[in-house]
Amino acid sequence: MAVSMDDDVPLILTLDESGSNTSAPNEELEREDLPNENGGSYDIVNDVSSPATGDYHSQQRSARHNWEMNYQEAAIYLQEGENNDKFFTHPKNAKALAAYLFVHNHLFYLMELITALLLLLLSLCEAPAVPILRLGIYIHATLELFALVVVVFELSMKMRWMGFYTYIRHKRTMVKTCVLLVQFVEAIVVLVRQTSHVRITRALRCIFLVDCRYCGAVRRNLRQIFQSLPPFIDILLLLLFFMVIFAILGFYLFSSNHSDPYFNTLENSLVNLFVLLTTSNFPDVMMPSYSRNPWSCVFFIVYLSIELYFIMNLLLAVVFDTFSDIEKRKFKSLLLHKRTAIQHAYRLLVSKQRPSGISFKQFEGLMRFYKPRMCARERYLTFKALNQSNTALVSLKDFYNFYEVVGLKWKAKRNREHWFDDLPRTAFLIFKGINILVKSRAFQYAMYTVVAVNGIWILIQTFMLQGGNFFPRDVPWSYIVFLTIYGVELLLKTTGLGPIEYLSSGWNLFDFSVTLFAFLGLLALAFNMEPFYFIVVLRPLQLLRLFKLKKRYRNVLDTMFELFPRMASLGLTLLIFYYSFAIVGMEFFSGVVYPNCCNTSTVADAYRWVNHTVGNKTVVEEGYYYLNNFDNILNSFVTLFELTVVNDWYIIMEGVTSQTSHWSRLYFMIFYIVTMVVMTIIVAFILEAFVFRMNYTRKNQGSEDDNGIVLEKEISKEEMASIIELYRRNYAASETAPLQKVIAQMDKYEQTSMLFLGRRSRTKSDLSMKMYEEEIQEWYEEHSRKEEYPWQDVFPSGNHMLSSGLRQRSQTVI
């Protein structure tokens, strides 16, 4: 007994415009509406043959319209939950919704990104520019103005979506607006004056990049850095305090030694102890006093032991501790935010007739907005995976798993074990043999041996080459032999496992690409294409395969790959800091260092460039350090990297200082402290991620191997038929095509049902879920105690989407 689901009426209605027709028709439409529980395969096709008067028809139409609005809003809530967008920016009316949809869209995101990148890249062309990229002032100022106009357009769309009051309360957007204004004024000034002025504000351009939707990870990193700052600064003060004490002490002890240039004034004493903290002037800073009195080394040893080996490590410890704590709190608030989002969405999807759950029809409507590309079969499988009670409706408790389930990729479970199972007998036996061979330990170890021999061979070969002709005209036979072996291995593995299975393993993919590179290198050698010779050099990478042998390496390398996205985002964060410092550096120090520039300073040697003529030979004595300059943005980046590595950075600092003023040192010291923060965070992050993973493996020893998350669901033929019926009635016939195919396949194999596997890789969030299992329950209880079914007071009239109650609460979420 199927009841028309079209007649269902949403329990609450959304968005102002549909506010008028809420309660009156609902009562009329109420009818008996029981979920039929016949063992999982339940009737989805609806009985639409119910009597329909003209009045009723129009009501039905408007109900359908209401549903569409609800679906869309629920999808928006779920997106907000997923992206950790705060609910107070939720669109409030139809106009805002249109703007919201315009803004949340990959095309728009891409536009944001490209504009931001354009603005950043402009500094390649603005004076001081990279020589070959130099553009006229007219051109780059016009480009800049154009990009800024695009940003204005983006911001106006955002304001339309958020509304004016929300907009001015959204800090990041406000900062962006201010920066935009400044940039605008400056760009116009440049155009009018037709000459560049000191534009340090260009350093703020990175905010456009940070605000991009695609740079969410960078924003999170920055937030984490700022959150770790207070304890960091505390310890930094301790560090600086000891530095001051030692500077005074050092000044009193060593300034009587006139051959000691490091401690002759208190300022020098301080600066040199700061540099000593980075160890980059050690032991030089000690030598003059050490040569006079051997016991003066005690001063330096005590200083380094306290500052470098104790307080610096304490700094790491404090940041690490804060970091792990923040990671946990972040996970908690994200989890609860998602939960709230799901509650909101659920509320919008429940019908007045059946308030205990979401039916497939409603779910389908939601997914049309949430994941438009998902096919009907996958939608139904997702619904089934959510629906753990196997009734017609998904309860709120089941719906809480939404985010875990929606990411699964569904595939029919194949009954064939190998790709060659369908081949004729003889072929099958051959391939089966190859398969067994390829999977055997002997084969694997043989390959490891070959790789090892190859590695040693390369090493010896390179060692024998002492200068001269590296790349012989004729390709060496060893190259061909090893490449042949790898080629055969590749062939055997591809045929034995099937190309799809072969390439689904990361390690095999690695083997494949290295072998491919080696082959390309062979071609380069054979056809004498010199620019590609570097490929030949990459051969030793093959040796990396040996690390598969040991479990710890596999672990480490897996962790490495898992960490990679976060590492990349941290790297990008560092680059953003680099960019700002590079701009400031260019504005102040561009052109100040050149060969033989710093002859009055203590580091003159490093900047020397002398062209002796000894006998009849020209000897060039080069200090090279003039290359570490701020003459254009690329040079600045390299110089800043050198400063990050901190060795001999004081040579760069002293060079610049000797050409400008004392105060330049501040720039370098601040840069050091900033990179120290970021680097400490990076170390803390690697530590945290690694230790977390180790603890996880220790906790879940032998419980399962890490193949990601897998779910199995069975669909019977009848269910399939009823979904098709549903789709045929409601949507275009084209959508039923993939479903028809499934049925056809079932018919082919004469099955009454089909098994599907949902698969996705394990994320950090899944690991955290398992690690904090017990605590999560507490969090939920605490959360629901605090909220007490939020919608009851949030939507008192069933009409206003955002009561002030919700607004306040959602601000507390992150």
* Closest distance to its own copies from the beta carbon of 557 (Å): 9
Interface with its own copies in residues 697-726 (CB under 8 A): 698
* Closest distance to its own copies from the beta carbon of 352 (Å): 48
Residue from 437, 638, 666, 737 touching its own copies (CB under 8 A): that is 638
User: Strand 409-412 and strand 753-760: pairing?
Assistant: antiparallel
CB-based contacts of 753, cutoff 8 Å, min separation 6: 714, 715, 716, 717, 746
H/E element, 411: strand 409-412
Q: Which is nearer to its own copies, 433 or 565 (CB)?
A: 565
Residue from 216, 487, 540, 738 touching its own copies (CB under 8 A): that is 540
The per-residue b/e assignment along 230-257, b for 16 or more CB within 10 angstroms, e otherwise, is ebbeebbeebbebbeebbebbbebbbeb
Q: Which is nearer to its own copies, 68 or 321 (CB)?
A: 321
Phi/psi at 758 (nearest 5 deg)? -100, 130
Establish if 152 lies at the interface with its own copies (CB under 8 A). no
- SS3 of 485-537: the string is HHHHHHHHHHHHHCHHHHHCCHHHHHHHHHHHHHHHHHHHHHCCCHHHHHHHH
Give whole-number Cα distances, 474 to 469, 477, 525, in Å: 12, 9, 8
Establish if 463 lies at the interface with its own copies (CB under 8 A). yes
What is the per-residue DSSP string for 676-706?
HHHHHHHHHHHHHHHHHHHHHHHHTTTT---
Establish if 582 lies at the interface with its own copies (CB under 8 A). no
Residue from 439, 550, 612, 699 touching its own copies (CB under 8 A): that is 550
Establish if 592 lies at the interface with its own copies (CB under 8 A). no
186-194, 299-307, 702-710, 748-756 -> range binding its own copies (CB under 8 A): 299-307
Residue from 181, 244, 453, 549 touching its own copies (CB under 8 A): that is 244
* Closest distance to its own copies from the beta carbon of 547 (Å): 7
**One character per residue 606-635, x = contact with its own copies (rule: CB under 8 A):** --------------x-x-xx-xx-----xx
Q: What share of the chain is helix, strand, coil (3-state, %, to 5)?
A: 70, 5, 25
CB-based contacts of 146, cutoff 8 Å, min separation 6: none
* Closest distance to its own copies from the beta carbon of 353 (Å): 49
* Closest distance to its own copies from the beta carbon of 474 (Å): 18
Region of 755 (left: φ > 0; alpha: ψ -120 to 50; beta: rest) is beta
Residue from 42, 167, 320, 399 touching its own copies (CB under 8 A): that is 320
Q: Are 756 and 381 in contact (CB under 8 A)?
A: yes
Interface with its own copies in residues 245-274 (CB under 8 A): 245, 248-249, 251-253, 255-256, 259, 264-267
Q: Which is nearer to its own copies, 247 or 341 (CB)?
A: 247
Query: Count of residues binding its own copies (CB under 8 A)?
Result: 96
Q: Which is nearer to its own copies, 366 or 514 (CB)?
A: 514
Establish if 683 lies at the interface with its own copies (CB under 8 A). yes
Q: Which is nearer to its own copies, 276 or 348 (CB)?
A: 276
Q: Which is nearer to its own copies, 130 or 175 (CB)?
A: 130
Residue from 541, 568, 666, 710 touching its own copies (CB under 8 A): that is 541
**What are the beta bridge partners of residue 715?**
754
* Closest distance to its own copies from the beta carbon of 449 (Å): 17
160-168, 373-381, 685-693, 791-799 -> range binding its own copies (CB under 8 A): 685-693
Q: Which is nearer to its own copies, 364 or 648 (CB)?
A: 648
DSSP-derived letter for residue 763 is P
H/E element, 242: helix 216-254
Nearest to 720 by CA among 34, 40, 23: 40
Residue from 288, 407, 498, 798 touching its own copies (CB under 8 A): that is 288
Residue from 105, 313, 505, 797 touching its own copies (CB under 8 A): that is 313
Q: Which is nearer to its own copies, 497 or 525 (CB)?
A: 525
* Closest distance to its own copies from the beta carbon of 453 (Å): 15
* Closest distance to its own copies from the beta carbon of 648 (Å): 7
90-98, 540-548, 741-749, 792-800 -> range binding its own copies (CB under 8 A): 540-548
Establish if 654 lies at the interface with its own copies (CB under 8 A). no
Q: Which is nearer to its own copies, 146 or 507 (CB)?
A: 507
**One character per residue 555-574, x = contact with its own copies (rule: CB under 8 A):** -x---x------x---x---
**One character per residue 411-450, x = contact with its own copies (rule: CB under 8 A):** ----------------------------------------
Neighbours of 684 (CB within 10 A): 23
CB-based contacts of 808, cutoff 8 Å, min separation 6: none
Establish if 648 lies at the interface with its own copies (CB under 8 A). yes
Q: CA-CA distance, 45 to 721, in Å (whole number)?
A: 9
26-34, 139-147, 290-298, 494-502 -> range binding its own copies (CB under 8 A): 290-298
Q: Are 181 and 132 in contact (CB under 8 A)?
A: no
Q: Directed axis angle between helix 266-277 and helix 649-659, to 10°?
A: 150
Positive or negative torsion for Cα 210, 215, 218, 219: positive
Residue from 35, 40, 163, 231 touching its own copies (CB under 8 A): that is 231
Q: Are 358 and 394 in contact (CB under 8 A)?
A: yes
Q: Which is nearer to its own copies, 308 or 711 (CB)?
A: 308
**What are the beta bridge partners of residue 759?**
409, 710
Q: CA-CA distance, 610 to 619, in Å (whole number)?
A: 8
